[in-house]
Structure 1
Amino acid sequence: MRELAKPAGIFDRDVEWTELARFAADERPGATLGVVSGRRRQGKTLLLYELARAGGGFYFGATEATAVESLRRLGEALGNYTGAPGPVHLPDWAAAVDALLALGRDRPVTVVIDEFPYLVRAARDLPSIIQYALTPGRPERTASRARLLLCGSALSFMGGLLAGSAPLRGRAGLELPVQPLDYRAAAAFWGVDDPLLAVKVFSIVGGTPAYRREYVQDDAPSGPADFDAWVVRAVLNPARPLFREARYLLAEDPDLRDTALYHSVLAAVAEGNASRGGIAGYIGRKATDLQHPLTVLEDAGLLVREPDLLRSGRSSYRITEPLISFYQAVMRPAWTALEQRRGQEVWRRSQRRYASAVLGPRFEEIVRQWAVRFADPDVLGGPVAEVGAATLTDPASRTSHELDLVAVGEPPMGDGPRPLLAIGEVKWGRRLGLPDLERLGRLRELLLQRSGVNATGTRLLLASAEGFTDELVEDASARPDVVLVDPGVLYASSADRTAGWSG
C-alpha cells in the first residue's frame, strides 16, 4: 500500500490525514465510499484537495446550483481531469456517478465531492443513486477502485447520511468527522506560548483554523500585554470578517430557520442557564416547546447536551463554539455600539461579563478536556473514560453542591460501579486555598456513603488560573490524593509535566 505524505502546509490533523490516506491508498478491488463532515472553517477542503492532489485524484467542489448546472460543471471538471477534448456529457446523476466510478478502473483513485449537500438539495434522490451504484456485484463497482469521498458542512444532513434507514447506511468504509483543534493545538497554531494568554485566546476563537488565517489576516496577540488591543482590533472591529462570523454560523445552516429563536436559546445558555427549564424561563417559552430547537442546535454542532455523571436523567447544555459564547455574552448586547466602532469602550466595560460568562466556563471545559485527554493516568489514579460536571445532593441538609469536574474511570471487569477517579473545583478568577480543599473532602465523604458509586480512591482536584495559597500547596505536597492544576500544567507536554508550560 503506497503511503501519501501529509503536505507541510497542513497544520496538525495527523489522525485525519492518516485515516484519509489509508482509505485513498487501499489497493483492494471494488469502489468504496467515505463520508467526511465537520463545521465550516475547520480545514476539510484543504485536507481533501491536498489528498486528491497527492494521489493524482479528482476533486470537485459543488456550489448552490440547479441539477442541470451542477451536472454541466461536473462534466467540465471530468473533461479537464481526463484530458478529453471537451466536457463529458452527463445526462443524469446515475450516469454522473458511474463516470466517477470509472475513474478508478486502472488504479485506486481518490474522488472527492465537496459540499455534497448542495448537490442533494437540487437532486434529492442522489444518495439513493449512489447506493445503487455501489451495489455489491454490480460490474461498475467491482471493476472500479474509485475511493469516493463525500464531504459536507451541514452537520445535521451529514449526520443523517449514514444513519437509520438512510440509503447509504452500510455502504461507507470511512466516516470521518473533522473537529476543531484542541486547546493545546490551537495555542501552537496561534503561536501563543503563554498559558494564561492561550486560555484567553481560545475562549474567543477556539480551535477553528480559518479564524487566524483569513478572518484576522494572521493577526495574533504579540504577548499578554497586547491581548486587549488585539480583541478590539481583530474581534470587535466591524472591518474584520470575524466580527460577524457568529451570526453567519447560524444563518448558513439550512436547518436553522428561526434564527431569532436559536439566538435566544444560545443567549440563555451563555448566561448560565444550562438546563432545559432554565433556558425556557430565560426566553419565555415552555420547556416542552424547546425540544425541536435544542435538537436542531445539537445536530448543527453548536450545542452539546452533557449528562450529569452523578444524577441519572439529569443533563445540561453547553455551547461548543467559543466564538458564539463570546458573541452572545459580549457582542450581541452591545451590537449597535460595536457597529459604531466603539469597540474599545465596549471591551472596557465588558470585562466582568467576559470573565464570568466566557472565560470561566471555557476554563472549566479546558480542565475537563485535560483530564480526559492529556493527564497522566497516574495523576488521576487511572485512565479517565468520561468527564463532566455534576450536582451532588446532601440528603441530611437537603442542599445541592456543584462539582465543576467529575472524572469516571473504565468499568470494572466484574460487577460493581465504575470508579470515581476525581472530583474537582475549577475557578478562573479566584485563588484557591485550604477551605476549597476541605469542601471537596466533605463532598467525597458524602460520595463514600452512596451506593452505586465507587469513591474509595477518589482524588481531589483543584484548578485555578490565579494559583493557590501557600498553605494549600504545602498540604497538597504531602497528599497523593490531591491534584493541583494551573494553566502551566494544562499546557505542559507529556515529557515535562512538572515544569508547566512547554511551548
Structure 2
Amino acid sequence: MFIGRKAELNFLEERYESQNGELVVLYGRRRVGKTETLRKFCENKPHVFFACTESPDEQQLTAFSERLLQKGLPVAQYIKRFSDWKLALASILELPNDQKKLLIIDEFPYMVKGNNAIPSILQNLWDEKLKDQNVMIILCGSSMSFIEKEILAEKNPLYGRATGILKMNEMSFYDAIQFVPNYSVFDKITAYAILGGIPHYLKQFDDTLPLALNIERRILTRGSILYSEVEFLMHQELRETATYNVIIEAVALGNTKLNDIHQKTQIEKTKLSVYLKNLMDLGIVTREFPVADGIKAHANIHRGLYQIADQFFRFWYAFVFPNLSELEAGDAKGIWKFVIEPELERHTSYVFEAICRQYLRLKNQKEMLPFHFTKIGRWWNKTDELDIMATDPKKRAFLLGECKYKNSDCTLSDYKNMKEKFTLAGSDQKIYYWLFSKNGFSEELVKIAIEQDVTLVTADNIVKEVGNL
C-alpha cells in the first residue's frame, strides 16, 4: 500500500497536465521514497522508466536502448541498440502514444558518472527539439550534492533548463504513523522518534509486535536491515567515515554547540566546520537558531546549535554505535533492557517537540490559529529556552509553547515558568500560550487555562485530531 506523498504527486501531475515540455529534477536522500513515488505517479500512464546502474557507459546505453525499443518504437524493426546517447534520448519523441511522452531516468547521476557528456547532450536536445514538444522527462537522483553541484548549479549544461525542481524530504509525523496503525498513541510517537519519516525504515517495523520486540529484532540484531543501514549509507556518501562517526555521535549525545563538539571530538574547529557542513548538505545534521534571531546571526559560525536532523541516525548513534561490541556478541536483549529502555522516554521527548511544531504548522495552514505565523522553531538566550516560538513577519504576535513528555501531569508551575522566560518589548505585541503534554494537565492548570485563554493539548489530541485538520 502506498502511503502519503500527496504534495509530491500533485506537483508531478500538474507538470504532466501542462501543455509544455517539462524537464523535472527530483532528488533526495536515499530511502526517502523517490522511486516508489515515481512509480505511483506512472500508474495508468504510458511511460518509460529506466533505472540506471553503476556500470560502464556502453552497458548503460545498451540497457537504455533495450528499454526504449521495447515500447514499440518504429525503429525497433531495424536496430537492437542506439549508436549513441543523442539518438537514444531523441527517440522519446517516437513513443507511440497520444498522451505526453513520459521518460523517467532513476539514479541519473550513475548515467552521468559513466559519461559526463550526457548533460550537454540532453541540454542541446532540449533546446533544439524537446522543450516545445509534449514530453516530460524526470531526472531522479539520491546523490544530493551531485545533483545540486553538477546538475543544477550555474555553469553546468542543464542550468536553467529544468521546469521543475523537487527535493523530497522525509515524511511528516502524520504520514509516518500510517505505517504503524495498530500502535497506541505513545508507541506511534516513539516509533517516529526512532525511525523518523523514512518509508524504508518504517516498513521494517511490524505493528502487530510490541515496540520493544521490533527494536530488538529489526535494529539491534545482526543481519537485520536497520542494524547496518547507517554504516552502509555513511560509506556510500562520505569518505573519512571514522571522523564523521565521532562527530555525529558527539551531537547525538547532546553536544550541540560548535565548541562542545570540538571539546568532545578534539577536531580542529576550521576542519570541524567543514565536516559539519558536509553533514548538513546530506540532511543528517541541521543548524538551528533561535526564532527571534536576525539573518546576521546565521553568519557567525559560533552561533546556532547543531542537531541530528535524521531521527534514525540520532537513535543509532545514541544507542547502537556506542554498543556495537556487545551487539556483535548477540546481546540485543541486554542493550534494550539496560541501555535503551531507561532512556527512551527522554530520547523521545526531544522529538515530541518537533511533532508539536508539525501539529501547529498544520493548524496554521488551515488558518486555525489566532494569527498566521511565518516562522516557527525553538528560542533560547543565555539563561532560558522555549520549546516552541512562532511569530508573524512583523513580530507583533507570538505563540509560545512548552512540550512536556513525561508520565505526570503538566502543572500550573510549568505554565508560570513559561511565562517568565519571555517578555514583550512593545505594547502593540501579543503572546498566545500553548502547553503540550504526554500525560495531561492538573485540575488547577485546566481552570487557569480557561480563565487566561491558554491552549492545552495532549499527545492524544495531536495524533487523533489530525483527521480534522
With structure 2 as the length reference, what TM-score do the two structures score? 0.90
Stretches of structure 2 lacking an aligned partner (at least 5 in a row): 298-302
How far is the alpha carbon of 1:73 from its aligned partner? Answer: 1.0
The CA deviation string for residues 404-441 of structure 1, in whole angstroms up to 9 with x for no partner, is: 111122x2xxxxx3234222222322643122211111
Question: Superposition RMSD on alpha carbons, in Å?
Answer: 2.5
Does the CA contact (< 8 Å) of 1:403 and 1:424 recur in 2?
Answer: yes
What CA distance in whole angstroms lies between the structure 1 residues aligned with 2:421 and 2:366?
23
**Number of the residue aligned with 1:236:** 220
SS at structure 2 position matched to 1:176: strand
What CA distance in whole angstroms lies between the structure 1 residues aligned with 2:38 and 2:365?
34
What CA distance in whole angstroms lies between the structure 2 residues aligned with 1:133 and 1:317?
44
Aligned residue type for 2:142: S
* Pairs within 5 Å for 1:149-298: 149-160=138-149, 161-192=151-182, 194-213=184-203, 215-216=204-205, 219-222=206-209, 226-253=210-237, 256-298=238-280
Aligned residue type for 1:434: L
What CA distance in whole angstroms lies between the structure 1 residues aligned with 2:142 and 2:285?
16
**Number of the residue aligned with 1:80:** 70
* Among candidates 457, 465, 478, match of residue 430 of structure 2: 457
* Pairs within 5 Å for 1:59-98: 59-82=49-72, 84-85=76-77, 88-98=80-90
Aligned residue type for 1:352: P
**Number of the residue aligned with 2:357:** 368
SS at structure 2 position matched to 1:82: coil
What CA distance in whole angstroms lies between the structure 1 residues aligned with 2:284 and 2:268?
21
Aligned residue type for 1:461: W
Is 1:440 the counterpart of 2:427? The answer is: no
The CA deviation string for residues 351-407 of structure 1, in whole angstroms up to 9 with x for no partner, is: 333333x312211111122222346877652123221112134xxxxxx11211111
**Number of the residue aligned with 1:299:** 281
In structure 2, relative to structure 1, the CA distance for the partners of 1:122 and 1:377 (3 Å cut) is closer
Aligned residue type for 2:24: G
* Pairs within 5 Å for 1:27-42: 27-28=19-20, 31-42=21-32
Is 1:15 the counterpart of 2:2? The answer is: no
**Number of the residue aligned with 2:401:** 424
In structure 2, relative to structure 1, the CA distance for the partners of 1:248 and 1:109 (3 Å cut) is same
Aligned residues: 457
- Greater helix fraction, Structure 1 or Structure 2: 2
Q: Which moved more, 1:488-497 or 1:150-159?
A: 488-497
In structure 2, relative to structure 1, the CA distance for the partners of 1:309 and 1:430 (3 Å cut) is farther
In structure 2, relative to structure 1, the CA distance for the partners of 1:164 and 1:361 (3 Å cut) is farther
SS at structure 1 position matched to 2:384: strand
Does the CA contact (< 8 Å) of 2:405 and 2:437 recur in 1?
Answer: yes
The CA deviation string for residues 162-184 of structure 1, in whole angstroms up to 9 with x for no partner, is: 23333222211121222222111
**Number of the residue aligned with 1:477:** 450
What CA distance in whole angstroms lies between the structure 1 residues aligned with 2:450 and 2:243?
50
How far is the alpha carbon of 1:52 from its aligned partner? Answer: 3.3
Does the CA contact (< 8 Å) of 2:53 and 2:60 recur in 1?
Answer: yes
Stretches of structure 1 lacking an aligned partner (at least 5 in a row): 1-8, 394-399, 412-416, 498-503
In structure 2, relative to structure 1, the CA distance for the partners of 1:88 and 1:342 (3 Å cut) is same
In structure 2, relative to structure 1, the CA distance for the partners of 1:64 and 1:376 (3 Å cut) is closer
How far is the alpha carbon of 1:86 from its aligned partner? Answer: 7.0
Give the fraction of aligned pairs with identical amino acids, expressed as a percent: 26
**Number of the residue aligned with 1:401:** 384
With structure 1 as the length reference, what TM-score do the two structures score? 0.84
Does the CA contact (< 8 Å) of 2:153 and 2:159 recur in 1?
Answer: yes
How far is the alpha carbon of 1:285 from its aligned partner? Answer: 1.5
* Among candidates 85, 104, 113, match of residue 105 of structure 2: 113
* Pairs within 5 Å for 1:333-352: 333-350=322-339, 351-352=341-342
Does the CA contact (< 8 Å) of 2:22 and 2:136 recur in 1?
Answer: yes
What CA distance in whole angstroms lies between the structure 1 residues aligned with 2:60 and 2:363?
45
In structure 2, relative to structure 1, the CA distance for the partners of 1:127 and 1:307 (3 Å cut) is farther
What CA distance in whole angstroms lies between the structure 2 residues aligned with 1:172 and 1:333?
44
What CA distance in whole angstroms lies between the structure 1 residues aligned with 2:9 and 2:84?
33
What CA distance in whole angstroms lies between the structure 1 residues aligned with 2:351 and 2:131?
50
**Number of the residue aligned with 2:300:** none
Aligned residue type for 2:240: D
How far is the alpha carbon of 1:81 from its aligned partner? Answer: 1.8
* Among candidates 441, 460, 468, match of residue 488 of structure 1: 460
What CA distance in whole angstroms lies between the structure 2 residues aligned with 1:327 and 1:221?
23
How far is the alpha carbon of 1:143 from its aligned partner? Answer: 6.2
In structure 2, relative to structure 1, the CA distance for the partners of 1:121 and 1:104 (3 Å cut) is farther
What CA distance in whole angstroms lies between the structure 2 residues aligned with 1:293 and 1:100?
42
Does the CA contact (< 8 Å) of 2:401 and 2:436 recur in 1?
Answer: yes
Does the CA contact (< 8 Å) of 1:77 and 1:87 recur in 2?
Answer: no
**Number of the residue aligned with 1:466:** 439
What CA distance in whole angstroms lies between the structure 2 residues aligned with 1:27 and 1:266?
47
SS at structure 1 position matched to 2:377: strand
